[in-house]
Amino acid sequence: MITINENYLKLQASYLFSDIAKRVAAFEKNNPDRDVIKLGIGDVTKGLMPASIKAFHEAVDEMANDATFKGYGPEQGYEFLREAIAVNDFKSRGADISADEVFVSDGAKCDSGNIQEIFSQDIKIAIPDPVYPVYLDTNVMAGRTGIFADGRYQGLVYLDSTRENNFVPALPEEPVDLIYLCFPNNPTGSTISKQELKTWVDYARDNKALILFDAAYEAFISDDSLPKSIFEIEGAKEVAIEFRSFSKSAGFTGTRCAYTVVPKECAAYDSKGNKHLLHALWNRRHCTKFNGVSYPVQRAAAAVYTEQGKAESKALIDYYMVNARAVCKTMDELGYSYVGGTNSPYIWVDGKTDSWEFFDMLLNKAGVVCTPGAGFGKCGNGYIRISAFNSHDKVKQAMERIKASLA
């Protein structure tokens, strides 16, 4: 008899964003005359940048010719892209990352979900609350938690991110082995200072722990004193892995390209206490389970690092940040307190009521979709997340409708 991985039965009914999409689809079906504005899932709305499109087209043409056609590429990504990443995203900021420490992939969601496979079953995991659900669910699936009770999985160490700590969690009180951090944060939009991040790096070094740092939203940082990469912090190369994505910085949510940096110094131990390099383990996993991102997509991603690409990427980020400011202004006018929206495309609003009730109210009264904070964890209850990813016109309309509904 075929049996299942019963850890899946511990998961909450459905993935947060699928759940919301279903509710919105039902609302649209029942209210065909209502025009719904989506500020929920962080999905970009603007077309790909001209620099990427040109490179994309040229690469597609190369694929049409026997002489320039590419079959399987290197699993880790083409050298031209890995080198451009190392130089532009790290070396330019004083972080000593080399091209062969970069693993190109089809998404930071996949990488941040898959990475846990290379660690043992019995490690102690620290997960922020609220949190991007992927870190949590993939560890539940892998059997690293107990059951879900009273809003939390047993066996995990939760790092509360609340107004009291400015949405930057404090170090755990009990020892942990694997720590998930995300800054600029999804969902709260909060940022971490270099000094605060150094505290975490020092903790990891002192405790032989590892930090999984999700920097998918780094492109939205305009305050240059904030770290864009954990590798800007001294000593991080031994104790951190970083996830990055072209999804938000270059509008690649539908095109799919991201990367993970696993420094060669980063190690973990076997049950006998022998040290193993995580670079070798991740490389082994990557080569076994992944055949690389398509050549045209990698060319389109590499174009982000040309002079034209850099300028267009900045313009893209600036475009969405105009929306973020409009959302913040509306919340100020309505007297709602919030965090985020300055170095982040997300605005985390204290809705002063149950998150799902607030979500339903905004959908029904204003026809605007947000993300209920409770979907990101217990500490998210009472909050909603508003995303800046939409057109100026739609965000303007959404804010007018929210004002009319809430004022």
Q: Provide the binding-site residues for ligand MLT, judged by CB under 6 A.
A: 41-43, 109, 132, 186
Alpha helices in 266-384 (DSSP H): 278-289, 295-302, 307-334, 355-361
Q: Which pair of structure tokens corresponds to residue 351? A: 């809705």
**What minimum distance in Å lies between the beta carbon of 15 and ligand MLT?**
10
Burial degree of 43 (CB within 10 A; 0-12, 13-18, 19+)? middle
Look at residue 383 and give its three-state secondary structure.
strand
Name which of 41 and 277 has its Cβ closer to ligand MLT: 41
Name which of 247 and 266 has its Cβ closer to ligand MLT: 247
Name which of 24 and 277 has its Cβ closer to ligand MLT: 24
* Residue 1 burial (CB count, 10 A): 2
Q: Taking CA 107 as the corner, what is the angle to CA 259 and CA 161, rounded to the nearest 5 degrees? A: 90
Residue nearest to ligand MLT (CB): 42
Nearest CA to 16 out of 378, 405, 375, 338 is that of: 375
Handedness of CA 326, 311, 97, 114 (dihedral sign): positive
CB 375 within 8 Å of CB 310: no
In angstroms, rounded to a whole number, what is the distance separating the alpha carbons of residues 231 and 164? 27
**What minimum distance in Å lies between the beta carbon of 324 and ligand MLT?**
14
The single-letter code of the amino acid at 375 is G
**What minimum distance in Å lies between the beta carbon of 101 and ligand MLT?**
23
Name which of 139 and 268 has its Cβ closer to ligand MLT: 139
**What minimum distance in Å lies between the beta carbon of 253 and ligand MLT?**
7
**What minimum distance in Å lies between the beta carbon of 256 and ligand MLT?**
11
**What minimum distance in Å lies between the beta carbon of 166 and ligand MLT?**
21
Name which of 43 and 360 has its Cβ closer to ligand MLT: 43
**What minimum distance in Å lies between the beta carbon of 186 and ligand MLT?**
5
Name which of 187 and 292 has its Cβ closer to ligand MLT: 187
Name which of 130 and 263 has its Cβ closer to ligand MLT: 130
**What minimum distance in Å lies between the beta carbon of 116 and ligand MLT?**
16
**What minimum distance in Å lies between the beta carbon of 117 and ligand MLT?**
19
Peptide bond into 184 cis (omega under 30): yes
Name which of 263 and 373 has its Cβ closer to ligand MLT: 373
The single-letter code of the amino acid at 352 is K
Name which of 41 and 361 has its Cβ closer to ligand MLT: 41
- Please provide the size of the chain in residues: 407
CB 339 within 8 Å of CB 167: yes
Q: What is the bridge-based pairing of β-strands 210-214 and 178-182?
A: parallel
Q: List Cα–Cα distances, 149 to 10, 119, 121, in angstroms.
A: 10, 25, 21
Look at residue 68 and give its three-state secondary structure.
coil
In angstroms, rounded to a whole number, what is the distance separating the alpha carbons of residues 380 and 370? 13
Name which of 41 and 123 has its Cβ closer to ligand MLT: 41
Where residue 182 falls (left for φ over 0; alpha for ψ -120 to 50; beta otherwise) is beta
**What minimum distance in Å lies between the beta carbon of 103 and ligand MLT?**
18
DSSP letters of 109-132? HHHHHHGGGGS-TT--EEEEES--
Nearest CA to 320 out of 294, 296, 343, 303 is that of: 343
